[in-house]
Structure 1
């Protein structure tokens, strides 16, 4: 009986030690990641009506795989940017439209992933859709890829507008045939966005917001988005119709690297 009790105690002690090591390891991993400052919020807590289609959480992006740092498909922004976006949404809802975000805060580790991809000249798996007319050796020189991104400061977002009632965009099927991002809307990968003349993340001069070749309803759609946002302090990046930064930025010189997840936010909200 004594030997059995000793054996049981020994097993229990071993299990307790293993649990302690496992818990400590998990805690250490949790504390490895930085957290967001208190004034970063999940957009859905400020405006749950804005659609979210977080492309870098999925394989449907120019890298061709989920991007480092995107642990959940959530839009995170500084509170001032989120609240201004809420105001723009209220204006668009009255006109029968809704905003849809493709990307918001972007951790530095994701930007680093973009850089590694751009430096791998042998990986052109997504060229047919995202940069058909651009040689991959030109991505840095032409400004499509950079080692720092305004998104990492927390007040920049990529977005579009969707006509209501919105129909969901079907999921991307890895391996499906790719179509140039500037093809006519009915030929491009389906997106419930209004027609902006190109898809999101199109590495082409046709994506320049005021490109003179974009006319008619496509130009009107771009100007609708531009007007709704610029009236509230957002500034457009001229080379990308989808890219806007809220100014003044709370963190104009800080590039954050906390993961995209609600756990990164204060209180996990």
Structure 2
């Protein structure tokens, strides 16, 4: 079921945020552009939580960098085709919390302008991206802890398999939202695949 909710445009609401929408470029796990508009949107409840996280990051001399926020449901299908593993991509039949507008993917930039080392890149779908992976440096663990503290200060919770993903703790109670911008059609080979 989809409902209409007025989503918050993060570029307008938070000019201090850095927005690098990975799915509006080919720099993502699919290797092609999924979002045909580079609009970074979030449910108003999640935007309120983000406002607190943005301020906590500022107090620590850091800037949040947003990789993804609200996601069209068709985009979820593209991601599932690229990585059909529920450990990393929510099955299309269940719907992603991104498609509810209550999830956001982020990292941190320091005062010198460098991205903090998190041990892996965004969307690196393997065990090293798991929050407590033993295969990353102590500095990367420290940076992940800082990111988690900043996001938890706003009211978000993380997930164990992706250090960059945060969502409202009650996300499942929010309905899936109708698509606000378009995505490319799925590759023709998907017509025979069950989603």
**TM-score after normalising by structure 1:** 0.61
Helix, strand or coil at the partner of 1:203 = coil
**What is the match of residue 178 of structure 2?**
257
**What is the match of residue 62 of structure 2?**
97
1:112 aligns with 2:77: yes
Q: Deviations over 1:108-138 (max 9, x none)?
A: 01112223x33xxxxxxxxxxxxxxxxxxxx
**What is the match of residue 84 of structure 2?**
140
1:214 aligns with 2:140: no
**What is the match of residue 193 of structure 2?**
none
1:51 aligns with 2:15: no
Contact map agreement 1:197 1:218 (CA 8 A) in 2: yes
Question: Where do residues 67-216 of structure 1 align in structure 2 (5 Å cutoff)?
Answer: 67=34, 70-115=35-80, 117-118=81-82, 139-141=83-85, 143-145=87-89, 146-147=91-92, 148-166=95-113, 192-216=114-138
Contact map agreement 1:109 1:257 (CA 8 A) in 2: no
> Relative to 1, partners in 2 of residues 1:74 and 1:217: Cα closer, same or farther, differing over 3 Å?
same
| Structure 1 position 260, deviation (Å) | 4.2
Rounded to whole Å, the distance in 2 between the matches of 1:157 and 1:260 is 17
Rounded to whole Å, the distance in 2 between the matches of 1:253 and 1:205 is 29
Helix, strand or coil at the partner of 2:15 = coil
What stretches of structure 1 of length at least 5 have no aligned partner? Answer: 1-33, 119-138, 167-191, 262-269
More helix by percentage: 1
Rounded to whole Å, the distance in 2 between the matches of 1:255 and 1:219 is 33
Contact map agreement 2:65 2:107 (CA 8 A) in 1: yes
| Structure 1 position 144, deviation (Å) | 2.9
Helix, strand or coil at the partner of 2:162 = coil
| Structure 1 position 61, deviation (Å) | 0.8
> Relative to 1, partners in 2 of residues 1:141 and 1:102: Cα closer, same or farther, differing over 3 Å?
closer
| Structure 1 position 87, deviation (Å) | 1.2
**What is the match of residue 33 of structure 2?**
66
| Structure 1 position 62, deviation (Å) | 0.8
Contact map agreement 1:46 1:83 (CA 8 A) in 2: no
Rounded to whole Å, the distance in 2 between the matches of 1:201 and 1:207 is 8
**What is the match of residue 160 of structure 2?**
238
Helix, strand or coil at the partner of 1:242 = strand
**What is the match of residue 5 of structure 2?**
37
| Structure 1 position 141, deviation (Å) | 4.5
TM-align CA RMSD: 2.1
More strand by percentage: 2
Contact map agreement 2:8 2:42 (CA 8 A) in 1: yes
**TM-score after normalising by structure 2:** 0.82
